[in-house]
Structures are given as structure tokens and as C-alpha cells.
Amino acid sequence: MFVARSIAADHKDLIHDVSYDFHGRRMATCSSDQSIKVWDKGGNGEWSCTASWKTHSGSVWRVTWAHPEFGQVLASCSFDRTAIVWEEIVGESNDKQRGQSHWIKRTTLVDSRTSVTDVKFAPKHMGLMLTTCSADGVVRIYEAPDVMNLSQWSLQHEISSKLSCSCISWNPSSSRAHAPMIAVGSDDSNVTYGGKVQIYEYNEVTRKYAKAETLMTVTDAVHDIAFAPNLGRSFHVLAIATKDVRIFKLVPLRKDGSSSAPTKFEVQVLAQFDSHNSQVWRVSWNITSTLLASSGDDGCVRLWKANYMDNWKCTGILKGDGSPVSGQPGALSGVLGSATAQSALNGLNELLLLRHKCRFSPHGKLSSKPIPLSCCKSFSELLSLFSFHPTTGQKK
């Protein structure tokens, strides 16, 4: 019940990251060709490239969107040791007609002395904050005090995590019961330091980030990490892409009053899957944290879902070229069969932020990438539900 569509990306080299905006109508890709491309989904469901420009002087590792409350803003990070913030400006009318838009550089963050491996915006309730992590293990948290002025950012925190960092993820929870929390993954080959995932928490008293937990059982290189949406729960769920797919549950243990010590957690392993049988490169949650997608070197995307007893299992497998794995007819129908509206509507966002590090053809074609999976016909069609005409109920 899905159809994959491939998009010829025209990047001149490997594509390292793809990122959807908040509403799933725009997409940014970044590449070793040092450029970023922005794609917009048209009314007819077709993706078209509306901007393409050179951004760094080295491979661009990651690209990410800010919350639309802050405008149309992107951040990218690169091997060239910088992270850059971009803003889209409304162009001339003939540009609009040609379907092109312009992005201008607002600020370059040059504090890192090594390759910047990930860049992420913090949850919007924290203001306009940007986080980077570098190959030398330093995590930096910046803030733009005036959200209208994207050229002014101040470095608020520098965290030395001692291990070469590869990825970061903010806990999206905006609950007052949870202090700001960030997970940092490492691909360091050093075996002395056991755990390759560290959790840092902001402390109101010390006004600093301190390490709250290290996941000691994760000893292999971590490629991606993602907190699940919180849903007002007291505990946190974290997915990790390493030599396998892992899902952890972090249960905060009671803290006495306002202490200056970080929260202690009880760490449980909810799931561990080596079905990819190879390195897992990306993990991504859907909006309601009911579905996890993972991609691996086996060229497949796998979807994971838990039943009411917290038993996780695979509910779908898609090959990189979008075809279902044989023997699994309509692999996704299981998802839709028990579809609650929310699960179906999540469809598009389920497969967001997903890419697997396939051996791409030298043309950097997106055809072997799961981004086309956003075009799972069922999902995107369902998502197009949102484009109903308010009065007549006919699709716009």
C-alpha cells in the first residue's frame, strides 16, 4: 500500500543528511559537494528544488530546520569546522515566478577547532537556541537573545564530553517537571571510555549542564540518536543507531528539592534489534512517538512499533529503492490496518529525517535514498487530507 518515488537530487557528491521542516512541506539536503538544496512540495505532491547554494568549504554533514515560529531558518554544520545559520528572504517577484527563493547567511559559528558533526535547534520553548557537537568532543550551546536578529548569537555553554561526538538530540519535553536534557552520541573508537551515549541535564541551581547519565551498554560507535516525543510522560525514551537499533527508557528517580546534582535515572532497554545486520545510520520518531524508523547499511528502512505491553517489533521493511522486501507483501498495511487516524496521519513524518548511508551512485542521485519514502502514496495521500477545502470538503 505504498509507492516510492525517487527524486533526482543533482547533488554532485554524497548526500549526508536530509531534513524535513516542521510541517513536512519543505526539505533540505546537504552534501559533500558543499552545498545545500531546499525542496518544496507543490500542490500536486511533486517536490521541486527551490534553492541550491554553496554553503561551506568542506563536506556539509547535517542540516536542520528551526521551528517556523522563528521564520524560515536553517542551520548547517560542516567538516570546515563551522556551523552556519541561514534565513530565507522573500525575493523579487520574478524569482517567485520561477519558483526560486534566496537564503542568506546570518551568522557563522567558528568556535569549533574540529569538524562539526551535528547541529540541532533546541526545543522552541527554550527560545532560539542552537547546539553543535564536534569531533573533538565539545558540545556548544548558543542562544540568539533577540529572535528577530539572527546575526547575534552568544555561546552559553560549552560541554567537554571527552569523546569524539557524532550526534546530538534534545529531549523535546516542555514539561516543567523535566529540566532541559540533551543526549550526545559518540563514534569514538577509543575503548577505554565505555559508554558511547551521554545524557546532560541543565541544572537550575548551578545554571550549567552536567552529565546525568552514561549508557554504558552502548559500546560501539553511535551514528544517530533521537529522543522520542514526550507525551507528558514522566519517563523518557531514546532511540540509538549504532551497530544495531536500540531503544532505551530513562526513568527519572526522585530528586530531593532543588539540589545541584543532576537527576538520577533508571535505565531500561526496551528493545534491541540487529535486523539490519549492519551499521544502523539513522533513527527517527514519528510525531506521537508510536513509530520508530531506522535505516542501515543493508539498504533497508525498518519501522518499529510497540504494542500496549511495550513489546517492540518490526512492522515494515522498505528497501532503499522503495520496493517492499519480498515475502512481506504490503509490509506497511499492518500499520494502516490498525490505523487510528493519528497513525495514518503520521505517515509522512514517520519517515522523516531518515537516510541510510548507501553507496550512492556518483551522480548523488536520491533514488537509492528513503527520502522518496515520504512519497509513500498512502501516507502522503493521507497527509494531503490536510489540504481539504474548508467549505466543500473537496481536495484543493
Partner 1 sequence: TTEKNKYVSILLAIELIWNLCEVLFIDAAPAGSLLLHLLDWVRLHKSDVDARAREVLQSDSPAHHQSYWDVVISLVLQGRVDEARQVLSKQASLRAESSSVFKRMDVLLHTMPIFNPTGTQTLTEFDVKWRHWHEECDRCLQDNTFASNRHLETICKILVGDEDTILEQKELLSTWYHFLVTRLLFTHPTIKPPDLHYYAQVHTTSPILLSLRYCYTELKLVKNKYYLLFYFNSDKFIYLFIYFFLRVFFHLLAVDYFDHCPEFGRVYLELQIERVPLDTERKAIKVLRICEDRQMSEQVRSICKIMAKRALRNNRLGSALSWSIRAKDAAFATLISERFLQDYCNKGSFTDLDLLDNLGPAMLLSDRLTFLGKYREFHRLYGENRFSEAAKLLLSLMTAKIAPRSLWMTLLTDALPLLEQKEVIFSVDQTYELMSCLEELNSGTKDSSQTDQDEDIESTKTELLRLALARNLAMAIVKEGTIET
User: In terms of CB distance, is 2 or 273 closer to partner 1?
Assistant: 2
Q: Does 349 bind partner 1 (CB under 8 A)?
A: yes
Who's near 278: CB < 8 A, 6+ residues apart? 296, 297, 298
Least distance in angstroms from the C-beta of 38 to partner 1 = 15
Stretch that binds partner 1, among 6-14, 163-171, 343-351, 358-366 (CB under 8 A): 343-351
Least distance in angstroms from the C-beta of 146 to partner 1 = 10
Collapse the DSSP code of 214 into the 3-class scheme (helix H, G, I; strand E, B; otherwise coil) and give the result: strand
Measured in whole angstroms, the distance separating CA 277 from the mean position of its chain's CA atoms is 22
User: In terms of CB distance, is 258 or 392 closer to partner 1?
Assistant: 392
Contact characters 303-342, partner 1, x per CB under 8 A: ------------------------------x--xxxxxxx
Looking only at residues 265 through 294 of this chain, which bind partner 1 when binding is defined by CB under 8 A?
A: 287-288
**Residue choice 97, 154, 232, 362 for contact with partner 1 (CB under 8 A):** 232
Residue with cell 558540545: 139
- Within 10 A of 10 (CB to CB), how many other CB atoms are there? 16
Least distance in angstroms from the C-beta of 337 to partner 1 = 4
Q: Does 145 bind partner 1 (CB under 8 A)?
A: no
Collapse the DSSP code of 269 into the 3-class scheme (helix H, G, I; strand E, B; otherwise coil) and give the result: strand
**Residue choice 14, 25, 58, 143 for contact with partner 1 (CB under 8 A):** 25
How far, in Å, CA of 284 to CA of 259, rounded?
A: 33
How far, in Å, CA of 221 to CA of 117, rounded?
A: 14
The two beta strands, 280-285 and 265-273, are unpaired
How far, in Å, CA of 169 to CA of 74, rounded?
A: 17
Collapse the DSSP code of 357 into the 3-class scheme (helix H, G, I; strand E, B; otherwise coil) and give the result: coil
Size of the site for partner 1 (CB under 8 A): 43
The secondary element (H helix, E strand) that includes residue 166 is strand 165-170
Least distance in angstroms from the C-beta of 353 to partner 1 = 14
**Residue choice 59, 229, 275, 314 for contact with partner 1 (CB under 8 A):** 229
Q: Does 207 bind partner 1 (CB under 8 A)?
A: no
User: Strand order in 265-273's β-sheet?
Assistant: 224-227, 236-241, 245-252, 265-273
- Give helix then strand counts, H and E, for the chain: 5, 24
In the complex, the residues that contact partner 1 under the rule CB under 8 A are 1, 22-25, 68-72, 88-90, 124, 148, 229, 231-232, 287-288, 333, 336-342, 344-346, 349, 378, 381-382, 385-388, 390, 393, 395-396
